[in-house]
Structure formats: C-alpha cells, structure tokens
Structure 1
Amino acid sequence: MTAPHVSFEFFPPQNLEASFRLWDTVQSLSPLNPRFVSVTYGAGGTTRDLTRDAVATLHKSSGLNVAAHLTCVNATRKETLKIADGFAASGVREIVALRGDPPKGTNQFTAHPDGFADSVELIEALSRTGQFTIRVGAYPEKHPEATSFDADVAWLKRKIDAGATEAITQFFFEADTFLRFRDACAKVGINAPIIPGILPIENWQGAARFARRCGTKVPGWLNDAFVKAVRDDREDLLATAVCTELCSDLIDEGVDSLHFYTMNRPELTRDVCHALGVVPDVRLQNVA
C-alpha cells in the first residue's frame, strides 16, 4: 500500500490554554509533511479574527502551507474580500471557501443584504482576484439543507465550475459512502480532486452527536462496537483500528489524499497516519 498524502484541519484557539494545545498539535503533526493545513471559521463567523490571527501565526512560524477558511456569514461582500486581501498580504494564498453555518440559535442561513448569497458567488469573486487556490466543501451523504443527493452533487459542480480546484468532504464512517459519491461526481463531469474528510473518533458520543447534526449516517455496527469498547475501556484502540481500516479501504480504491479533522488533538491522527505508512520527515522533525 502506497502511503497517502495527508492534510490536517485545526480550529483557532480561544484562550491561552487552547493556544498551547494548537501549537502542540502543529508540532506533533508537521513532521508528517502535510500538503496543507486549514484553519476553520466558527458558526456565524464568530471566530473570524481568531482565524485570521491563527492563520497568520501558523504561516509565519510553522513553515506549513496554510489554507484559511472563509465564509459569507454576517459580512458584506466588501468585508469578506477585505479579509481575503489580508490573507494574501500575509502570504496566505489558499482558501477553503464555504457558505458557512448559520449563527447559533438560528436554523437557516440568511445572506447579508450586501453580502454574498452563497458559496458559488464567493468562489467566483475569489477566483476573479487571481490570488488564491480555492478549495470547497462537499457532502457525500447530502447537505442537510439540500433537496436531494443529486442536487447536492450538481451544486458541487457549480462550485468547481466557479473556480474551485479541489473539494474536501464532510466526514463519513464507511468507505462505500465516499466511493458512491465519487462515482456520482464523475458521472456529472466533476474532474477536480475530491479529498475524503476523515474524523478520528476521540469521543464516540461526541462524534455521534456531531454526525447527526451534519446528516452523516451512524452505522449500527459502529455504535455497537463503541458501546462495547467504552464498557471494556478499549475505546482508543477501537478508534485507531476503525479509522485506519477506513483509510486503508479508501487507499485500496485509488484515493491518494486524506484530510484529517484533528480537533486540535494530534495523537489519534498521528497514530493512524503512522499505521498508513505516513512517517515523519526527519528534516521536519528536527525543526519542529
């Protein structure tokens, strides 16, 4: 099995302790030579300034290829593009362009009167600047607000046609979920790479709640396995095995890149990467 390319998602710290955790996570994972690392935006743009600061700091201090998340929520077009210009000025030329989640307490996205109506408009505007490599999100099990699976695939094609060069999927628990989605994308002419998003399961109950909010199917066999593993104090062992097997199945089907949602906790992600043959680059390890 050929070792895959990897990338990692972090979220911006909101206090001093979280800042140390983020830096420890970066130090632990950067020797694995990721293609890029991304930094998220909070729901409703709540971490906009924190994301900007974390992106700038990581770009300057880590030597990693940093991609900044950017959303349309609660901002005018001018404000959103000013943030993008700030990323470019700091040397960050990669953006994960997303519509964004509605602010907490609301169930529906409402565009700012002077803002971008959706992710396609944001991608088109970013593409026109000529400054960025643009990645987008994809939903292998249908976005909760989409009318159908096919409509969701068609929307992804619109995002690629608008100027995105790569897509990163929401996490899923079974390889067949991604493979069916990949086939559906190919059928409508999506030729851009689609990177599976992988969630190492640090806490099963939390992961299951997160999955339900995202519209991600929770297989019965997986829930049963974790219930037993938690009871027998083997949750970490099962989590490593399940995630490694999922990634191995994807690699066997021709997937060559994986994007890990680290939750700023590096240990499980690092162990899975090692099991897949992604070993530390000694030169990077000495620097980290």
Structure 2
Amino acid sequence: MKIKDLYDIKKTVISLEIFPPKIDSPVETVFKTLDELKDIKPDFISVTYGAGGKAKDRTIEIASKIKNDYKIESLAHLTCISATKEEIKSNFIEMKAGNIENILAMRGDLPENPDFEFPNPLQYEFAADLIKEVREEESFSIGAACYPEGHVECESKVKDIKYLKNKVEMGAEFLISQLFFDNEIFYRFMESLDLAGIEVPVSAGIMPVLNKNQIIRMIKLAGCSIPPRFQRIIDRYEHNPAALKEAGEAYAIEQIIDLMAFGVRGIHLYTMNKPDTAKRIIGNIENIRRLQD
C-alpha cells in the first residue's frame, strides 16, 4: 500500500523507525526487534541507512521482510549524495523485486571517510534531485524529511522552507520531521508550511531520550533545542539512568498526546531499536488512537 494513501484513511498515522544492525553484527538481530514491534501494529515501519550511510545494503532486505513476512507496510530510506545514477537505478530494481512501494528520499549524510571519492561530476546535490528521479519511476510513494528547527547546514529557516517546497514540487507526497523536544516549535513550523503553501501531510518525529549521551549526540547531529522543562528533567536525573529513562519515556508520551490534540497527521517514533520503550509509549496512547480511528 502506498503510504500517501494511509493519511487519507487514518486520523493519525502511527509509524516507527528502525535501523539496520552494524556491519559486523548479523542482520537477524533486527528481526528480534521486529518480532516485538509487530505487536504495536504500526501503520508503517521505516528502515534507515544507518549513520553515515553504513549498512545501506541491508536496508532493502529489511524493508522487504517487513512488508512480505511481517505484513506491515515499509518505508525504505534512500540517500543520494554519494551515489551514481546507476547505483540509484539498481536500488529501484531491488526495491521493486522486494515488493517495496515507499521510499524516503534524502540527500543523506556526508561520508565519514575524508578520502571518500564522490562521483565526478556530482550526480545528486539535493534531495529534490533524487525525488524527481523517484517520481519518474511511477512505482513508489515518495516521502521526504523536514526540519522544524531548520536543517543544521542551512543558513536560514526561510531558505530551508524554500528547499522543502522544492521537494514537494518535485514529487514528495508526505513529510517526516526531524526530532524535536518543544511542540511549540513544531506548531510554528506548521504555520510556516501553511504560509508557504506546502499542503502534504506531515508526521511529527519523536525520539524518547533514554540517556544523557543520547541527548548530547542529538543536539550535535540534529541541532535541536532543549526546552527549560525538559532541561530540568535532564539535570535532575542525569546520574540516575533508570529514572532518566522513565522520565524520557513519559516526556515523549506527553509530547505525542499534545500533538494528537493539535491534530497532527502522523506520529513517527524513532525507536532506536528499543522495542520495550516503543511498546510502552504506543501502549499509553493506544486508547486515544483507537477512539480517533
């Protein structure tokens, strides 16, 4: 099923994100995670390329298994900054063979290896370049990423919205947001989309904070801000891992309940491959979800 159609039949689309295991770990380890996540009955599960594009060869395999074996709709991430046209075309062929109907098209992170040799000339500069090519295939529903606080590499939020509008014009049919911890920032972002004439559905990306190192890493990578209320939680429980984990889950639940009251079109939970946390969070909003649908 095309994910774009889920937004037409669901009051709030609930989705999860997982990542492939590290290269030196068996791919089967992620299937143990999926065995538990399937009980949540999400509307779809997305599969990342992993940090810096590592383990990308496993993305299609896992997304295909989610669709064909677990009978849950899947969304395969596809990045392009270091890819050639031939590599992207090969991905399309593999995805079709695996019965994958949905792609999250992104530029992707720059390779960590400073000596990495990019295609010369560069064949994809922006996510919109890839989105246009996916649309020409006429086989996939296309998602794109959006950034409520602006992309860390973009010089202004105005330009970031301009780039986002271009993604939609090129063929993006739904958006999934970067994580954020302040819902008011997301609401202001949605107002900006409305003013820009961007009308495709948006799923709000929520990541439960489970430890202090995760917070530091997310601030560095995503540039997300920490609201005072959440900072107090971090300061109070940073030396008590069990308490911080529980408080982080509770904060995520409160965020989601508020977002659903706002009328957000979707909730996208970054699971960090922690099924116990995902099950507790979705379990706490299950009654609201059921009543809405």
Give the unaligned 5+ runs of structure 1.
282-288
Q: Does 1:33 align with 2:41?
A: yes
Closer, same or farther: CA 86–265 of 1 in aligned 2, 3 Å: same
| Residue correspondences, number | 280
Q: Does 1:275 align with 2:289?
A: no
Q: Does 1:215 align with 2:204?
A: no
1:127-166 aligned at under 5 Å gives the runs 127-166=135-174
Distance 1:256 1:75 in 2: 32
Q: What TM-score does the superposition give when structure 1 sets the normalisation length?
A: 0.89
Match of 2:267 among 251, 258, 272: 258
Q: What TM-score does the superposition give when structure 2 sets the normalisation length?
A: 0.87
| 1:17 positional shift | 5.8
RMSD of aligned residue pairs (Cα, Å): 2.6
Closer, same or farther: CA 50–112 of 1 in aligned 2, 3 Å: farther
Q: Does 1:22 align with 2:57?
A: no
- Aligned residue for 2:112, secondary structure, equals coil
Greater than 6 Å deviation, 4+ residue runs:
108-111
Deviations along 1:31-64, one digit per CA (max 9) or x if unpaired, are 2221211110134433221212222333332111
CA contact (8 A) 1:3 1:277 kept: no
1:94-113 aligned at under 5 Å gives the runs 94-106=102-114, 113=121
Distance 1:16 1:113 in 2: 32
Match of 1:65 among 73, 85, 91: 73
CA contact (8 A) 2:16 2:46 kept: yes
Give the unaligned 5+ runs of structure 2.
1-9
Match of 1:92 among 100, 109, 123: 100
One-letter amino acid of the structure 2 residue matched with residue 242 of structure 1? Y
CA contact (8 A) 2:23 2:55 kept: no
Distance 1:245 1:67 in 2: 26
122-131 or 66-75: which moved more? 66-75
Distance 1:109 1:226 in 2: 41
Distance 1:69 1:213 in 2: 18
CA contact (8 A) 2:13 2:203 kept: no
Closer, same or farther: CA 175–279 of 1 in aligned 2, 3 Å: closer
Identity over the aligned pairs, expressed in percent?
29
Deviations along 1:183-225, one digit per CA (max 9) or x if unpaired, are 1001110000011001011223213322222111123432331
Distance 2:201 2:66 in 1: 25
Distance 2:196 2:23 in 1: 45
CA contact (8 A) 1:67 1:95 kept: yes
CA contact (8 A) 2:16 2:269 kept: yes
- Aligned residue for 1:134, secondary structure, equals strand
- Aligned residue for 2:99, secondary structure, equals coil
